[in-house]
Amino acid sequence: MTPESTVSASRQRVAEHLVGREREVELTLAAVAAGRDIVLEGPPGTSKTTMLKAITDEWGIPLMFVEGNADLTPAKLVGHHNPSRVLREDYSPDNFVAGPLTEAMQTGGFLYIEEFNRAPDDTLNTLLTAMADRRLAIPRVGMIEALPTFRVIASMNPYDNVGTTKLSSSITDRLNRLSVDYQNAEAEERIVHLRAKPEGALADRLVADAVAVTRATREHPYVRQGSSVRGAIDLVAVAVQLAELRSIEATDDSRYPELVFDSMVVSLSGRIHIDEAVDISPEAVLREIWQDHFVLDPALAEPG
């Protein structure tokens, strides 16, 4: 089964593994089915890995992860000769340990480079050469030819400004790009239900509140980057346990808001990044968000 011949059936099956994201799946599939590599640009927790995993599973090929950072040298990406074996046997293709780029090319997998823009220039150049030529000359090993399904998928976080280099136009001109943003509240609620699987009478109310306060962290004026849907998933999971520890029932309106606040502290305080220019703790920001949600807008605190 070649990917090209079944792209429309593929889209259907890939979509079944995701909540929403029809457009992103369609565009990403179109790019990879066209034989192209692509950069997915978006904040954390916006379905990038979930989508790529669904596509590579559909194609029956490996998905390999590499984190882009200053230590990602070309040698790490390509591979190296085992030094002790080289001493005994001299260099040979046999004692070469393939790096993730070489392995992805040989197995026809997707090489997923997260935080692509943090990788050093010479590493980016090695990658671009492999992408353009679909083959790679490795000294003392020979020429590696990529299988037809080999792709490079890169990701970048638009909020990320630590240790990143701005990509030069000679690089960006060689890449396709798709921007992915947070999903709407309804889709995030479905994701939280799916992943946290809360049960019992509190479940719907907790999911709605968790998604609302998590989304509010992205809008708060002191927050540079708020929490992804992962925070809402954990919030619900923590709150379910805390409700049990505290014997809080669904009807216990007086204790419910504090339950949510305490779960917010655990699940969100480490996931929000406060603006460097502001002197305020994450807990204080969360308290403000919680007050806006439960005290200033008490209608939202009502059950149902």
The position carrying tokens 């889709």 is: 187
Residues binding Mg ion (CB under 5 A): 49
Going 288 to 291 to 293 to 297, the CA torsion angle's sign is negative
Q: Does 206 bind ligand ATP (CB under 6 A)?
A: no
Under 8 Å between Cβ of 45 and 230:
yes
Q: Does 18 bind ligand ATP (CB under 6 A)?
A: yes
Which residues are bridge partners to 137 per DSSP?
143
- Shortest Cβ distance from residue 154 to Mg ion (Å)? 12
Going 255 to 257 to 262 to 263, the CA torsion angle's sign is positive
Q: Does 125 bind ligand ATP (CB under 6 A)?
A: no
171/229 with CB nearer ligand ATP: 229
65/132 with CB nearer ligand ATP: 65
Contact range with ligand ATP by CB under 6 A, out of 42-50, 60-68, 95-103, 290-298 = 42-50
Which one of residues 10, 28, 47, 126 is an interface residue with ligand ATP (CB under 6 A)? 47
Q: Does 195 bind ligand ATP (CB under 6 A)?
A: yes
Instruction: Give the C-alpha separation, 1 to 302, whole Å.
Output: 53
Instruction: Give the C-alpha separation, 163 to 71, whole Å.
Output: 12
Q: Assign 291 to helix, strand or coil.
A: helix
Q: Does 21 bind ligand ATP (CB under 6 A)?
A: yes
Q: Assign 79 to helix, strand or coil.
A: strand
Which tokens hold the place of 118?
Answer: 């943090």
Contact range with ligand ATP by CB under 6 A, out of 38-46, 127-135, 159-167, 169-177 = 38-46
- Shortest Cβ distance from residue 189 to ligand ATP (Å)? 12
- Shortest Cβ distance from residue 18 to ligand ATP (Å)? 4
Instruction: Give the C-alpha separation, 97 to 103, whole Å.
Output: 9
Per partner kind, with CB cut-offs from 5 to 8 A, the member of ligand ATP, Mg ion, none near residue 44 is: ligand ATP
| Phi (first) and psi of residue 294, to 5 degrees | -100, -30
Question: How many Å separate Cα 158 from the centre of its chain?
Answer: 13
- Shortest Cβ distance from residue 303 to Mg ion (Å)? 35
Footprint of ligand ATP on 155-174 (CB under 6 A): 155
Pairing outcome for strands 63-67 and 110-114: parallel
Residues in the chain, total: 304
Task: State the DSSP code for 269.
Answer: T
Q: Helix crossing, 185-196 with 203-217: angle to 10°? A: 120
Per partner kind, with CB cut-offs from 5 to 8 A, the member of ligand ATP, Mg ion, none near residue 47 is: ligand ATP
Q: Does 76 bind ligand ATP (CB under 6 A)?
A: no
Q: Does 230 bind ligand ATP (CB under 6 A)?
A: yes
Which one of residues 31, 41, 48, 231 is an interface residue with ligand ATP (CB under 6 A)? 48
68/74 with CB nearer ligand ATP: 68
Q: Quickly list H helices, the chain.
A: 7-15, 22-33, 48-59, 74-78, 83-89, 100-107, 121-133, 169-172, 185-196, 203-217, 229-245, 256-268, 282-294
Q: Does 28 bind ligand ATP (CB under 6 A)?
A: no
| Phi (first) and psi of residue 277, to 5 degrees | -80, -5
Q: Does 46 bind ligand ATP (CB under 6 A)?
A: yes
Which one of residues 10, 11, 19, 153 is an interface residue with ligand ATP (CB under 6 A)? 19
For binding to ligand ATP (CB under 6 A), which residues are involved? 18-21, 44-50, 155, 191, 194-195, 229-230
